[in-house]
Amino acid sequence: MAILGRLLFFWACVLSIQIPACAIANEASGGMADSAHRSSFQIVFLQQSWDVLHLGYETDAAFAKLRSADWSKPLFVINVEDIESYRWSTQTIQLTIPATDRLVSALAPKAIVAEKKYGRKRSLESDMELLGHQVFGVFVSGKPIYYGVVLDSLSQMGIGWPVSRAEVIDGHAVMRLLPYQISGPSSVNYDNAAGTAQAKPKCEMCERIRDPRVAEIMVKAKVMSP
């Protein structure tokens, strides 16, 4: 009986070690997979604006500051599953309705202040306008490929790095990515941009925005259009 008792005690110890270890391994494996999925493509909006960060107009100086910025507590994050369509030729991204609703919720504190301070009536369009001057980064597998700022088409700010228009179409939030600030056009046809007055000859930012990895991710997600 004493031997049997010792054997039972031994196997109880073994099982008490193995079962939690397996559970931890499964949890870790699932967590890593989820994290990898979430980080395959992200557009991350910082809490701070272009003005607050004193980013200026030049690409190198602005990107140096943004590389050292704290991206761990963003205003809003767009993941692959938040994208309803991604038009590659014009780099136009349309969000899903749920993602649009979450973006509006993220902007609500600013909208409430604007309503109280300036009597600004709230609507989806007016809330989206509050994205103006917000800074964002575009990440693939957790690494930045470029940074940008939201500006409207009438802005005269000579930003030399990517900008985005923020619009509303049929209840969906829409981002139109441009290689740098261009007064007037809401979008650029990237297939023809390099040879027009709308883009610089080499257009380095055109190449960054049209990163092949982004195209691959969007094709796999079945949201890509020409």
Same domain as 61, residue 125: yes
Residues 44 and 33 in one domain: no
Cβ atoms within 10 Å of 186's Cβ, excluding its own:
14
How many other CB atoms are found less than 10 A from the CB of residue 225? 12
Mean pLDDT value across the chain: 80
| pLDDT exceeds 80 at position 29 | no
Domain count, the chain: 2
CB neighbourhood size of 110 (10 A): 14
Q: What is the largest CA-CA distance in the chain?
A: 92
pLDDT in tens, 108-134: 988 888 888 888 788 888 888 899 999
Is it the case that residue 102 has pLDDT exceeding 60?
Answer: yes
What mean pLDDT comes out for the span 41-45? 98
Q: Single out the residue of 159, 112, 111, 115 nearest to residue 133, CA to CA.
A: 159
Please answer whether residues 177 and 91 qualify as being in contact, where contact means their C-beta atoms are separated by less than 8 angstroms: yes
User: Do 7 and 117 have their domain in common?
Assistant: no
The domain containing residue 5 runs over which residues? Answer: 1-37
To the question of pTM greater than 0.85 for the whole model, the response is no
- 148 and 166 part of one domain: yes
pLDDT > 90: percent of the chain: 58
Closest CA to 160 of 113, 199, 190: 199
- Residue pair 167/176 in contact (Cβ under 8 Å)? The answer is yes
Looking at the fold, whether 115 and 189 belong to one and the same domain comes out as: yes
- The predicted-structure confidence for 68-99, as pLDDT tens digits, reads as follows 999 999 999 999 999 999 999 999 999 999 99
Residue 105 sits in the same domain as residue 116: yes
33 and 45 housed in the same domain: no
45-64 average pLDDT score:
95
Looking at the structure, do residues 18 and 55 belong to the same domain, yes or no?
no
Q: What's the CA gap between 81 and 95, in Å, rounded?
A: 9
Residue 200 has pLDDT above 70, yes or no: no
